[in-house]
Structure 1
Amino acid sequence: MSKFSPCLWFDGKVEEAAEFYVNAFEQSKINKTDYYVDSEHQPKGSVLTIAMTLAGQEVILLNGGPEFDFTPAISFFVECETEEQIDRLWETLSHNGEVLMAFGSYPFSKKYGWLKDQYGVSWQLVLSETLQSISPSFLFSGEQFGKAEEAMNQWIEIFGDGKVEYMQKNPDGSVAQALFTMHGQPFRVMDSGESHDFTFTMATSFYVYCKDQEEIDRLWNAVTAKGKEWPCGWMEDEYGVCWQTVTVDMDTLFDNSDPERAYRVMQELYKMKRIDIAALRKAYEE
């Protein structure tokens, strides 16, 4: 199991979007669908989350409501192996979407483009002649401009098992682009001095699979020290990026095959900010 999984907050259309993405990417499939067992947030029985694999990367779609919107502050950098592959992916993702950087030749790649798809999710496609892969990319602009390197180093320190693989700086010392890994997974950061009217939002967050309560507590304290605490294990760091601490046995605890049990666990979760594994397991076993 990977340590991190992107979680995308949708306002409906999660089943449609899941099929769209699975058909767009290689090595992709829908793994599991969970449903609301109460009616406090969405109609009971409607889709809660869809877990899928896209190009070998787990991605979670959450049917959360209209509260948050995607922005290009977090995009997904897709390396493609062949021209045929990148052409097809660009055509699919750009359908009813919006082009942010034209698809064409650039000094750094024979083919590259940046777009926002029909659901608002941003993608950067690049021809790299390697197996298709997806990595999150964070754009620091506005009040966050110049903090890309600081954030990258802080995340590596907090989440561990990480290193900077590559970094290119602008003349002013800001980060033009940087690639780093945590627990073997790639991430990217960039600074932008452009006058953008967007920043990070909870529409894109990241599952962090934790092995035990000790790890949850450590990450929670570190991330929220200068950030914010949110319900249900959501934590926002000082840069505005949101992470979710989840247990490695979450699938078991929220298994919809026993609706009454799943309801008990969900009600217990709603009481929490920081996840209490023992309390969730107690609700499961009652």
Structure 2
Amino acid sequence: MPKFSTCLWFNNEAEAAANLYINAFEDGQQGKVSYYVDDEHKPKGSVLTVEFTLGEIEFMALNGGPEFTFTPAISFFVDCETEEQLQKLWNTLVLEGKVLMPLDQYPFSEKFGWLEDCFGVSWQLNLTGKKQCITPTLMFSNQKYGKAEEAMNHWLSIFGDGKIEGIQKNEDGTIMQAAFTLRGQPFRVMDSAGKHDFDFTMATSFCVYCENQEEIDRIWAEVTAKGKEWPCGWMEDQYGVYWQIATRDMNTLIDYSDPVRANRVMQALYKMKKIDIATLRDAYNNK
């Protein structure tokens, strides 16, 4: 199973967003839907998350509220195999959205365009002749300009089992673009010398699925060493990128077929920053 999934925080539009992406992309499929089990955050029974896959990439749409908004600091680079495929995807995603770079020919691409969809999520569509593939792309700008290569190497050292697929550098040594993988998940980074009024936000985070408490402890310590701890397994690294840490069996522990039990587990989760699997299992078993 994949090591990562991308979590997208929506203002109560998770279901609509997931449906848009599943229908827009080839091989889109919906996965598990989870629900709020108390009235503290949202009405009991309302949708909390919708899991879905686009190709081989896992996503999670979260109904979080208006606190965070998407920015182009994290976009999704899409390799498109044919011009027809690219045009269809562009026409679907740009509807009620915003064009950041018009769909056109550029020195670096026969056909490329950058847009924000109606929910504010940014997509870079590129005609490459390759099978459709989606890659999270992180842009380092303003005070973080020149940090892309450092961040890439930092993540490779933490998560392991990854490699740099290719690097293009600017004349000043910063990264024009670099492609790398972490546990088979593709990522891209780039430095942007332009001044931008946006940065990374909690609207886009990356869930890391750990094998056991030992791996949780190690990754949590390394990510937050120069970063910040957040509640419920969320963490922020030294570059301002947000990650969530979990294990696959958390889906079993938060079993919505038993709302009372699920609420016990969620109440235990709300009290945590770093995930403590033993405590969640005790709540599940009502110990």
TM-score by length of 2: 0.98
**Alignment gaps of 5+ in structure 1:** none
Say whether the 8 Å CA contact 1:210–1:247 is kept in structure 2. Answer: yes
Q: 1:246 aligns to what SS in structure 2?
A: strand
SS of equivalent to 1:23: helix
* Correspondence for 2:148: 148
Partner of 1:129: 129
Is the contact between residue 28 and residue 56 of structure 1 (CA under 8 Å) also seen in structure 2? Answer: no
Please say if 1:42 is aligned against 2:50. no
**CA displacement at 1:58 relative to structure 2:** 0.9
- Provide the residue aligned with 2:65 in structure 1: 65
Corresponding residue number in structure 2 for 1:21: 21
8 Å Cα contact 1:51/1:61 also seen in 2: yes
Distance 1:225 1:40 in 2: 31
Q: State the partner residue of 2:118.
A: 118
Q: Which amino acid aligns with 2:238?
A: E
Q: Match of 1:32?
A: 32
Q: For 1:208-236, what per-residue CA distance to the aligned partner results, in whole angstroms no more than 9, with x for missing partners?
A: 00000000000000000000000000010
Alignment of 1:237-252 (within 5 A): 237-252=237-252
CA distance in 2 between partners of 1:98 and 1:251 (Å): 36
CA shift at 1:158, angstroms?
0.6
Distance 1:250 1:83 in 2: 41
| Matching residue's letter, 1:7 | C
Equivalent residue letter for 2:37: V
Identity %: 65
- Tell me how far 1:108 sits from its aligned partner: 2.1
Which residue pairs with 1:260 in the alignment?
260
Q: Which residue of 2 aligns with 1:179?
A: 179
What SS is found at the alignment partner of 2:137? strand
Determine the structure 2 residue equivalent to 1:3: 3
- Give the letter for the 1:112 counterpart: F
Offset of residue 3 of structure 1: 0.5
Distance across 2 between alignment mates of 1:174 and 1:156: 18
Q: Which residue type is aligned with residue 273 of structure 1?
A: K
Q: Distance in 2 between matches of 1:160 and 1:152?
A: 11
Deviates more, 1:11-20 or 1:224-233: 11-20
For the residues of structure 2 that align with 1:96 and 1:26, how far apart are their CA atoms?
Answer: 21
Could you list the structure 1 runs, at least 4 aligned residues long, displaced by more than 4 angstroms after superposition: none
1:173 counterpart letter in structure 2: G
TM-score by length of 1: 0.99
**1:114-151 deviation digits (Å, cap 9, x = unpaired):** 00000000000111111111110000001110000000
Deviation of residue 162 (structure 1)?
Answer: 1.2
In structure 2, what is the equivalent of residue 270 of structure 1? 270
Distance in 1, Cα, partners of 2:236 & 2:41: 21
The aligned length equals 286
For residue 107 of structure 1, report the CA deviation from its aligned partner: 2.0
